[in-house]
Structure 1
Amino acid sequence: MTDADPPPFYAAHVFVCTNRRQDGHPRGCCAASGSEKLRDYMKARAKELKIPAIRVNSAGCLDRCEFGPAMVIYPEGVWYRPVSTEDVEEILQVHVIGGGRVARLMLTEQDVPPPKR
């Protein structure tokens, strides 16, 4: 961010992959891993907690299919792999509200998809 950039519209902008591929696709897909349910829970829970300036959006493929469900939180650009509503709750409490990180759920530079053929 430079001095010329406007301030961010959201304090936290969460993108949850809800991409759906055909059954049996070798890379899998986040929707088949329950990402839509997790996105819906996160949206409802953020509203319930009255978290200011948060936006939870669906995203197309985030290209981390093998590790799904995948989500990324900006402006930090931190990637997570939540598999339950309890994981989403922890991400909201620790990352979004508390400013920390949930290390056990983070996708890192070591979590890369296999090379495309």
Structure 2
Amino acid sequence: MPRLPTDPALYFDAHFFVCTNRRPDGHPRGSCAGSGSEKLRDYAKARAKELGIRGLRVNGAACLDRCELGPTMVIYPEGIWYHARTAEDIDEILITHLQGGGRVERLMLQPDQKSL
């Protein structure tokens, strides 16, 4: 949905939501927290600050409903979904997408994707 001329100014330029939902061990869908997403969220917060990325809010999110692909994350306003497993993956997303305005295609999730 496009912004309207009467909308207030944005408070943040981008939101980086990292799913931190935890399901019981052995759940058939898995869980992002069970795959290490809480550490990735914490790393993303600290690293974004180190990189000096302004106008960004890194948040933990409850279930983003893509558990099988976890850890999952989504960046708004673009609505680009990513799968990341390592600090290096997070660095690449922060530097390429959020600093450089590009995309990390190897980590992107497609809307109809059901598995990695």
Shift of 1:110: 2.5
Mapped to 1, the partners of 2:72 and 2:30 lie a distance apart of 12
Shift of 1:74: 0.6
Determine the structure 2 residue equivalent to 1:105: 107
Shift of 1:103: 0.5
Classify 1:112/1:6 alpha carbon distance in 2 versus 1 (closer, same or farther; 3 Å). farther
For the residue of structure 2 that corresponds to 1:107, the secondary structure is coil
Mapped to 2, the partners of 1:11 and 1:97 lie a distance apart of 11
Shift of 1:23: 0.7
Mapped to 1, the partners of 2:12 and 2:108 lie a distance apart of 21
Determine the structure 1 residue equivalent to 2:36: 34
2:73 paired residue among 71, 74, 80: 71
1:66-88: per-residue Cα shift (whole Å, max 9, x none)? 00000000111110001100000
Shift of 1:4: 2.3
Determine the structure 1 residue equivalent to 2:83: 81
What TM-score, normalized by structure 2, do the two folds share?
0.93
Matched, 1:20 2:4: no
1:81-107: per-residue Cα shift (whole Å, max 9, x none)? 011000000000000000000011001
Mapped to 1, the partners of 2:110 and 2:8 lie a distance apart of 29
What code does the residue aligned with 1:79 have? Answer: W
* Number of residues of Structure 1 aligned to a counterpart in Structure 2: 113
Q: Which runs of 5+ in 2 are unaligned?
A: none
Say what the alpha-carbon RMSD is for the aligned residues.
1.1
What TM-score, normalized by structure 1, do the two folds share?
0.92
Mapped to 2, the partners of 1:49 and 1:109 lie a distance apart of 30
Q: Which runs of 5+ in 1 are unaligned?
A: none
Determine the structure 1 residue equivalent to 2:50: 48
